[in-house]
Amino acid sequence: MKLYKGLVAATVDALYNIFVKNRQADRVVEQLLKSNKKWGARDRAFIAENTYEIVRWWRLVKYTAGMEKAFEHADFWKLAGAWLIIRPRHLNREEDEILPEWPEFEGIHAETVLERYNAALGTRKIAQSVPDWIDETAAQELGAKWDEELAALNQQAPVAIRVNTLKTGLETVINIFGAENVLQVNGVQDALILKKRQNVTGTDAFRQGYFEVQDAGSQLIAPYLDIKPGMSVIDACAGAGGKTLHIAALLQNEGSILAMDIEQYKLAELVKRAERNGVKNLETLLIDDELALQNLIGTADRLLLDVPCSGLGVLRRNPDTKWKLKPQFLDSIRQVQWQILDNYSELVKKGGKMVYATCSILPSESEDQVKRFMKSRKKEWNFISEHRTSVAKDGFDGFYMALLERK
Ligand SMILES: C[S@@+](CC[C@H](N)C(=O)[O-])C[C@H]1O[C@@H](n2cnc3c(N)ncnc32)[C@H](O)[C@@H]1O
Residue 197 lies in a domain: no
Range of the domain at 81: 5-129
Query: For the chain, which ranges sit under pLDDT 70?
Result: none
| ipTM of the prediction greater than 0.95, yes or no | yes
Whether 394 has a binding-site annotation, put simply, is no
Mutate to test the pocket of ligand 1, among 237, 247, 271, 296 (most ligand atoms within 8 A of CB): 237
- Does 377 lie in the same domain as 239? yes
359: annotated active-site residue: yes
Q: Which atom of ligand 1 lies at the shortest distance from residue 358's CA?
A: 1
- Burial code (b: 16+ CB inside 10 Å, e: under 16) for 307-334 equals bbbbbbbbbbbbbbbbbebeeeebeebb
Q: Which atom of ligand 1 lies at the shortest distance from residue 221's CA?
A: 8
- Does 83 lie in the same domain as 230? no
Residue ending a domain, among 107, 129, 151, is: 129
Residue 251 lies in a domain: yes
Q: What is the pLDDT of the chain when averaged over all its residues?
A: 96
Residue 192 lies in a domain: no
Residue 231 lies in a domain: yes
CB 306 less than 6 A from any atom of ligand 1: yes
CB 293 less than 6 A from any atom of ligand 1: no
Q: What are the helix (H) ranges across 167-263?
A: 170-177, 204-207, 221-224, 242-251
- Does 108 lie in the same domain as 239? no
CATH number at residue 40: 1.10.940
CB 292 less than 6 A from any atom of ligand 1: no
Residue 196 lies in a domain: no
Whether 190 has a binding-site annotation, put simply, is no
pLDDT digits (tens, 9 = 90+) for 356-378: 999 999 999 999 999 999 999 99
Domain count, the chain: 2
Residue 276 lies in a domain: yes
Helices 58-65, 41-56: inter-axial angle, 10-degree rounding: 80
Q: Which atom of ligand 1 lies at the shortest distance from residue 309's CA?
A: 1
- Does 222 lie in the same domain as 125? no
CB 333 less than 6 A from any atom of ligand 1: no
Contact between residue 56 and residue 90 where contact means Cβ atoms under 8 Å apart: no
- Does 383 lie in the same domain as 270? yes
- Does 373 lie in the same domain as 245? yes
Contact between residue 370 and residue 383 where contact means Cβ atoms under 8 Å apart: yes
Residue ending a domain, among 129, 145, 163, is: 129
Strand 188-194 and strand 182-185: the pairing is: antiparallel
Q: Single out the catalytic residue among 359, 361, 402, 404.
A: 359
Q: How far apart are CA 136 and CA 144, in angstroms?
A: 12
- Does 234 lie in the same domain as 116? no
CA of 45 to the centre of ligand 1 (A): 31
- Does 228 lie in the same domain as 106? no
3-state secondary structure of 234: strand
pTM given for the model: 0.95
Residue 390 lies in a domain: yes
Q: Beta partners for 24? A: none
Q: What pLDDT, on the 0 to 100 scale, is given for residue 84?
A: 95
- Does 237 lie in the same domain as 380? yes
Q: Which atom of ligand 1 lies at the shortest distance from residue 243's CA?
A: 8
Q: How far apart are CA 295 and CA 189, in angstroms?
A: 36
Q: How far apart are CA 368 and CA 136, in angstroms?
A: 18
Contact between residue 192 and residue 177 where contact means Cβ atoms under 8 Å apart: yes
Mutate to test the pocket of ligand 1, among 245, 261, 344, 369 (most ligand atoms within 8 A of CB): 261
Whether 261 has a binding-site annotation, put simply, is yes
CATH number at residue 297: 3.40.50.150
Contact between residue 213 and residue 159 where contact means Cβ atoms under 8 Å apart: yes
Nearest CA to ligand 1 atom 15: 308
Residue 395 lies in a domain: yes
CA of 261 to the centre of ligand 1 (A): 6
Nearest CA to ligand 1 atom 26: 239
Order of all β-strands in the sheet with 211-213: 182-185, 188-194, 160-163, 211-213
pLDDT digits (tens, 9 = 90+) for 217-245: 999 999 999 999 999 999 999 999 999 99
Q: What pLDDT, on the 0 to 100 scale, is given for residue 96?
A: 76
- Does 271 lie in the same domain as 397? yes
CB 262 less than 6 A from any atom of ligand 1: yes
- Does 223 lie in the same domain as 321? yes
- Does 360 lie in the same domain as 232? yes
Residue ending a domain, among 79, 98, 129, is: 129
CB 261 less than 6 A from any atom of ligand 1: yes
Q: Which atom of ligand 1 lies at the shortest distance from residue 307's CA?
A: 10
